[in-house]
Chains A and B, each alone.
Chain A
């Protein structure tokens, strides 16, 4: 990987929420790096902290309940946690673009698309006239495959289909030409051919501008198509990380293995029970000591009551007492 400074370096990021029932430690020591032009897939059980990781990086955690307990996030070597709020605001958009998981909460329900897109485009390029910004908006909507974009600009978000809203958000995030794009489930509402079109667009921007991407998704097929590396999270921690080629052909952590076993395949016998990982994710209010996957793990022993150290070689990192690299 060379000795150059990574574009993004997340070190020991830990986040908790204050709730009526006490403190919920949701992220515990998340660390990873990303080079310019690289795509990292972030996968893991629903509720494991993928979205919170992206909100932590961009300092968009809900206030006052969400707080960063420890850790640093460096962009080109600069620690984002130390920046005053107004400086951080300049980072979001042109340096770090965000596609939020919940399109409806990210778009303003009472504003037409024309206004929302105009704002985000001219924030990045204040010298553009209104007409130029409209042209740019039309071009972006065409890029993401929205038909009749000139009529669509008049629409309010609720007049769009789920997948169209998602694509509008993608267009807005890309309008600022970010160095790093954090895409949280950007294609969940898209059929496979439109998804392919969006993935091609993102790949093209990476090739042209060296944009790096954190791609949060449940679709492991999409990870195989667009990511170079992948990090697997479970209950607030990264449990395994590595190149897609190596991790997909030989997943080592028992949770990763369970995840791969549950992938829906076209050749399964229809209408038969599907394999799952037995048991439930632990509550963030009551995490098991040691390895957090141990209560559901077939291979667990007494050793698993202590926290597994992260073993790593240049190709792979895994946190499990029962495997050795």
Chain B
């Protein structure tokens, strides 16, 4: 049984406008997303800014209820439950938020922020809670004196680490990390990635890891899902996806990775073409307005995510996948 099973998950937001602020349109932020995650496994999620990664993370954890679809955690549906019924899931499934400052209570000291999860779930005595909280600070590489300080007294990257400490406080089985290391310098980033890999090994932690740094995602992930405009357009084992990308959008991402090589000129490689909007989706394949390989067939319907099943499956949603060779090196 998978740790987490996401089936046909969708999330829409209303766009209001006009004098009466009536619903003018819908933002289709997440569209029919399905995947399985095993204990001890990391699924990396990458994709264009605004494609629905954070919304997907929040919908999985029921922080925002999904519009459609099913979320099973250890085989149990988590959809439509009351706050109380959700408590066991909340204890075992945690999120590291993209915007750390927003997620931390500005009026509480760091110590209080870290003790709170134990209080909510009635774990330990007062002294135990404090000792656990201090231990968390050390694990994320923050000095002991941070305990009595307030979030605004920290730098961006230090705050991000407070968010990570809070998320791992309850020894979750599932961690959804939304850009957890993008605010950190590369050395602290490596420390945090090592910590996450250790936790995964010790506790068989399942992780959904959202990030835009492809080297980071590749290092941590067993499998990777690439999203474009609310949908998964390619999903497969990390290695295969980097060596043999099958979707033109994945290939564009790989081509745009900056490197520290200063011996050769690095051209900037943005995507050309009209940026499609989740409010006003193009017909057919959503990527076709920017795809160098688009042809008539691409307007003919939404391509399904196709390929074999199972843990090593490499699947793609592209009408022309069979004809294209997108491996780096091929042109």
List residues of A whose CB falls within 8 A of some B CB.
Answer: 17, 19-21, 43-47, 50-51, 62, 101-105, 145-148, 151, 154-155, 159-164, 167, 185, 188-197, 199-200, 203, 218-225, 244-245, 248-249, 258-260, 262-266, 268, 270-271, 273-277, 280, 283, 285
Contacts and interface: CB of A to CB of B under 8 A. Distances in A.
Contacts of A105: 101
B307 interface: no
B268 interface: yes
B278 interface: yes
B275 A147 contact: yes
Contacts of B252: 193
B266 interface: yes
B216 interface: yes
26 contacts: A19-B153, A47-B158, A147-B276, A147-B277, A151-B279, A155-B15, A162-B98, A185-B156, A189-B98, A192-B256, A193-B252, A194-B49, A195-B212, A219-B213, A220-B186, A220-B260, A221-B257, A221-B260, A223-B260, A225-B266, A258-B187, A259-B187, A266-B257, A270-B221, A273-B197, A276-B190
B271 interface: yes
Contacts of A245: 262
B66 to A, nearest CB: 17
Q: Which of A164, A225, A249, A274 has most B Cβ within 10 Å? A: A274
B54 A51 contact: no
Interface residues of B, number: 79
A225 B98 CA distance: 25
A49 to B, nearest CB: 8
Contact of A277 (B155, B187, B222, B262): B187
Interface stretch (B1-9, B120-128, B142-150, B291-299): B142-150
B209 to A, nearest CB: 12
Contacts, number: 212
A21 B148 contact: yes
B260 to A, nearest CB: 5
A296 B262 CA distance: 28
Contacts of B189: 218, 262, 264
B280 A148 contact: yes
B9 to A, nearest CB: 17
Nearest to A49: B155
Q: Which of A19, A147, A154, A162 has most B Cβ within 10 Å? A: A162
Given A259-B185, A259-B186, A262-B189, A193 B270 contact: yes
A302 to B, nearest CB: 26
